[in-house]
Chains A and B, each alone.
Chain A
Amino acid sequence: MRREAAGPLDYLARWPLRLWIGLVALFLYAPLVTLMLFSFNESKRNIVWTGFTFDWYFKAFRNAGLLEAFTNSLAIAAIATAISVVLGALVAVACWRFRFPLKPAFEGVLALPIVVPEICMGVAMLVFFARVMPWPAGLPWPFNLGAIIIAHVSFCFPFVAVIVRARLASFNRELEEAAKDLGASEWRAFIDVLVPHMRPALVAGALLAFTLSLDDFVITFFTAGPDTVTFPVKVYSMVRFSVTPEVNAASTVLILLTVALTAVGLRLQGRDMARSRGI
């Protein structure tokens, strides 16, 4: 779309800006790349390269606490994402399709979890699960993680709602009416017409919810009990006392997982986008 030769506004072609972007990339990535590199380092001291090894990965894998925290995090993220996508999609449809009393106020409250500082929400969850609804102890996995899952859904589903709502704005309501004229019930029209249209937003929302849940430290830190530790909470306690390449190894696994998820998400979205453009 843009000309081949560098135009006057093609700032990327200028060396000072290239240098600047290079430096910013170095600043953003150097810490992460060194963290990943040193997870393969033989020496326990995290600073001098002595040789290549996979030992820290085996150690991290055998570290029962770390492994449990890791699976907890993944389970919480998966369950919270599933609930968030359903709730987010429903509320987006409700606000998009219906007029109801106090709607602006409701929409304001719905946006609150996005803007409220994390610490305030963490504190609220702590108080809620300590005084109002203590989560029963000793439930089988993954039900023992219920309190954390509930907290995560509360801050994830409004994000899903925002994404789905934006997507619904481009929906042609006549399609739904046509379906109903042709005899489809409300339910059929919803499932066969509206949901397919929402799908790219549902995928994007699910990915965002999964990342937000996996990433969260503060709110989890206030909701987690001694036997419901997530990966960030576990790493936090490990980092406080000592720095070991085990943490590097576990972090590397999580970073690669995030990158893989991002790639899958971008690919899915690209395909969905291409398809909806084709229609």
Chain B
Amino acid sequence: MATSEEQDWKRARGPFAAVFTAPALWLLAFFVVPLAIVWAYSFGETTTPTTIEISGTFRHYVRAFDPVYLEIFLKSAWMAALTTALCLVVGFPVALAITFAPERAKAWLLLLIMLPFWTNLLIRTYALMAVLRREGYVNAGIGRIAEALGWQFDPLPLLHNNFAVVLGLVYVNLPFLVLPLYAALDRLDRSLLEASLDLGAGHLRTIREIVVPLAMPGILSGLLITFIPALGSYLTPDLLGGPDSQMIANVIERQFKRANDWPFGAALSFILMYLTFILIAGQTVLAGRRRRREP
């Protein structure tokens, strides 16, 4: 509908230039050019500490498949997948309840989920550190109970390990999954669910056989929206993780700051970017195929 009304830019050069020039130039100068430089650097060599010669080498990409780095890539993917799965388990019932809640309750529940999402990421991570620390609230709480019962209690190591990283990633990314899930469930035709219930299927069976298959495209895109930021997260593993919970982003940061190996860091960040693109492309293809199959 809208496409037919679009005006050819040649017919109104003045207005087109007025609205197009500034944002296009900004995007080119302050987004495309910086990324292009990083891309070029990924094929370069550090000649002196401050110069990089673009020599066209693939050395850094080959080095990224060194077992040390491959392991970090796999571990990051695994942690992100675990995070996404946990978010789905925790978030699905919440999204379901929001979808079928009365209007007023729905607005409040959405706000309940959104508000932490708008709160500063660093503050949220810091808040979690205070909870998980050796002398944090969880350990202090258990300690006090143990003391009252006269038991011996050693504080649990809750912070600076992989457990803390996954917990932190779930904490930070949960709204990313609940909102798309809600959007997907909200589009469902309720009469189908009611028909299934009327015909004697239980709630769990209705969810498994009606809700999930129908809402699948939305669920998949929600999973993707959660997985991508989790895969590239820097702050959570940095602050909550231990020495063995580094993710890709931490390795990239080290190349650019302490290790000062920009070409290798550039190659790693482009591998991360290609992974992101492959995931998005895969999801788009899947969604397209699904749409074609449906009448």
A residues adjacent to B (C-beta < 8 A):
1-2, 7-12, 17-18, 20-21, 24-25, 27-32, 34-35, 38, 45-48, 86-88, 90-91, 93-94, 96-100, 106, 109-110, 112-113, 115-121, 123-128, 131-132, 150-151, 153-154, 157, 161, 169, 173, 186, 190, 211, 214-215, 217-218, 222, 231-232, 235-236, 239-240, 243, 247, 251, 254-255, 258-259, 262, 266
Contact = CB atoms under 8 A, between A and B. Distances in A.
Given A98-B6, A98-B8, A17 B97 contact: yes
B228 A124 contact: no
A2 B9 contact: no
Contact of A123 (B96, B197, B266): B266
Contacts of A12: 97-98, 100-102, 105, 109
Interface residues of chain B: helix, strand, loop or mixed (majority): helix
B120 A251 contact: yes
Interface in B107-145: 109, 111-116, 118-124, 126-131, 133, 135-137, 140
Contacts of B234: 118-119, 218
Contacts, number: 257
Contacts of A117: 228-229, 231-232, 249, 269, 272-273, 276
Interface residues of B, number: 91
Given A132-B37, A254-B123, A255-B123, A151 B232 contact: no
Contacts of A8: 194, 197
Contacts of A127: 34, 37-38, 41, 262, 266
Interface string B179-197: 0000000000010011001
B256 to A, nearest CB: 6
Contact of A47 (B30, B111, B135): B135
A270 to B, nearest CB: 10
Interface of B: 2, 5-9, 12, 14-16, 19-20, 22-24, 26-27, 30-35, 37-38, 41, 90-91, 93-94, 96-103, 105, 109, 111-116, 118-124, 126-131, 133, 135-137, 140, 171, 174, 190, 193-194, 197, 228-229, 231-232, 234-235, 239, 248-249, 252-253, 256, 262, 265-266, 269-270, 272-273, 276, 280
